[in-house]
Structure 1
Amino acid sequence: MSNLRPTIPRQVLPAPDGFEPTPERPITLISRDLERSDSLLPHRHTWGQLTHSIDGVLRVTAAGSTWIVPPSRAVWIAPGVEHAVTVLASTRLRPVRILAERAPFPDEACRVLEVSTLLRELILALEQLPPLASSPRATLLSELMLDELARCETRPIRVPLPRDKRLQCLCARLIDAPGAPLTLADWAGQVGASERTLARLFEKELGMGFGQWRQQVRLAHAAPMIAGGMPLARVAEELGYASQSAFSQMFRKTFGTTPSAFFAGQ
């Protein structure tokens, strides 16, 4: 099965204070290299944050949802929004901190952004600057990055999370093993609730049925697999589909295009 499954987690403290953005330097960046299964406990910042990694795969959880994030994407987290990060494949984490007053989006919604070539290069250039020093170059990079962020395309792969503890147990296990073939009746026997109760909870708390929610989970895991060059036949097998064509058909139905076209140029 997929090598994206977490093993025994190691809790890692959030980056220390001292690199906060300021009006003179509205964007700062922290470099952190983390190992698979490292996790940052839920925390929040007074600044906005673009959670991005140069390589590896992250799981970012915030505002009642979770996202699987490969290097081709980043998650925008608004100021004051609690979030947590789990490393699914060893990563060079490069979170970009943005002064709250200069946030590129007007609301508190989290957004999954497609990392353009320009944005990726701007992040790498920002990393080369002294962390807090203001300079004409830092100002130019910051302004260009803010402009580019507002132009980045968004991706709709989102996995909502429940509040009910029985449903939390089921969902957490399925996120860890998206290819599990268990039916809702099978899960009912493992989490201490009837199939009918679980079906009702999925609709009430997540706004969708079990099959649709599981599909979202599988799509989220498919993103880093395909972007990393894994053959579609193996992706389909890892995620529990009977064939590559079945996976591709589901993908096209969801996004209106094939997986290859969707990830072209990633």
Structure 2
Amino acid sequence: MAETHPLPVDQFEYDNLAQPAVALMLAPQRNDSESAEHTHRKGQLVVAYRGGIVCTGENGVWMVPSGFGVWIPGGISHSNRVTANGQVCFLFVEPDAASLPDHCCTLALSPLILQLILHLSDQAQDYRADSRTSRLAGVLLEELEQAPTEQLYLPLPASKPLRRIARALAQNPANRATMADWAQQVAMSERSLARLIKAETGLTFGQWRKQWQIIVALQSLAEGLSVQRTAEALGYESVSSFISMFRKTLGSSPARYLRSTPISALADRSA
């Protein structure tokens, strides 16, 4: 488990501003650590410009590769872990300032949205309602309302047996124990365990474990690990079998998926 640190006080100061959208670019220190669980009055978009972020809430885990963001509505308890090489920006959105989801989700952010957030983070955040910055913030929120969601989410079960399995998989993603093995470990029948997983996550055990592997794989790749090392960490006997699983789940190979992120498009435009 990563060491936990308190949040920078700036986050709470920005959360208290009345402007419809304010942005805070975090300094890179204290990366590879997990923030204490907390809530915000405003909605919060956690954006990865480099590396990745894992956001954990009460009911799930969201992965944010570069060019994506996790949207967290106001009042929802969560913690964030940034990869060691990460560069992160927080966008705080005033309640009712934009029509955004009422639940946590991962959003794919266009190069325009990413540029607007970067620009906003460089401005004085106590801007006037009739200022140019206010008008740009309005454009940003309009664009953000159109951002598509991505299935980079792992539902976390609530029951003790499934939480035990989740902790074991978090500690050892290469664990290849079968459903029968897990059922024996948590003193349940295989059929009862299968029903419980389906009821609490909406997924079969195989789907749930594969989604967990995708979350871990994206985090590893975002940290700069090679595809081969990522495959080995997940217990795959060959790189090709890992790539096949990744392609079937996300529609492309790991290398192509990372190249197609909005950050890559942003870099291409600025080159």
The equivalent of 2:168 in structure 1 is 173
1:59 aligned to 2:54?
A: yes
SS at match of 2:125: coil
Q: 1:36 to 1:179 in 2, by over 3 A?
A: farther
- Map 1:99-118 to 2 at 5 A: 99-105=94-100, 107-118=101-112
The equivalent of 1:154 in structure 2 is 149
State the one-letter code of the partner of 2:125.
P
The equivalent of 2:86 in structure 1 is 91
The equivalent of 2:123 in structure 1 is 129
For 1:232 and 1:85, the matched residues in 2 are separated by 24
The structural deviation recorded for 1:141 is 2.5
For 1:179 and 1:223, the matched residues in 2 are separated by 15
Is this contact kept in 1: 2:154–2:208, CA < 8 A?
Answer: yes
Q: Which runs of 5+ in 2 are unaligned?
A: 262-271
For 1:261 and 1:119, the matched residues in 2 are separated by 22
State the one-letter code of the partner of 1:101.
D
SS at match of 2:50: coil
The equivalent of 1:3 in structure 2 is none
Q: 1:173 to 1:159 in 2, by over 3 A?
A: same
State the one-letter code of the partner of 1:131.
Q
SS at match of 1:123: helix
Match of 1:213 among 199, 204, 208: 208
Provide, for residues 53-90 of structure 1, a one-character-per-residue CA deviation record: whole Å limited to 9, x for no partner: 33333211235111122222111112222222233435
Q: 1:179 to 1:132 in 2, by over 3 A?
A: farther
| Greater mean alpha carbon deviation, residues 174-183 or residues 162-171 | 174-183
For 2:141 and 2:225, the matched residues in 1 are separated by 33
Is this contact kept in 1: 2:169–2:175, CA < 8 A?
Answer: yes
1:31 aligned to 2:28?
A: no
Match of 2:246 among 221, 243, 251: 251
State the TM-score, normalizing by the size of structure 2: 0.81
Q: 1:90 to 1:252 in 2, by over 3 A?
A: closer
Q: 1:118 to 1:176 in 2, by over 3 A?
A: farther
For 1:88 and 1:195, the matched residues in 2 are separated by 38
Q: 1:180 to 1:83 in 2, by over 3 A?
A: same
The equivalent of 1:40 in structure 2 is 35
State the one-letter code of the partner of 1:128.
D
State the TM-score, normalizing by the size of structure 1: 0.83
Provide, for residues 207-227 of structure 1, a one-character-per-residue CA deviation record: whole Å limited to 9, x for no partner: 222221110011112224445
For 1:185 and 1:90, the matched residues in 2 are separated by 39
Percent pairwise identity: 31
For 2:213 and 2:230, the matched residues in 1 are separated by 10
Is this contact kept in 1: 2:116–2:140, CA < 8 A?
Answer: yes
For 1:176 and 1:123, the matched residues in 2 are separated by 35
Q: 1:97 to 1:238 in 2, by over 3 A?
A: same
For 1:35 and 1:185, the matched residues in 2 are separated by 41
The equivalent of 2:267 in structure 1 is none
Q: CA RMSD in A?
A: 2.7
The structural deviation recorded for 1:230 is 4.3
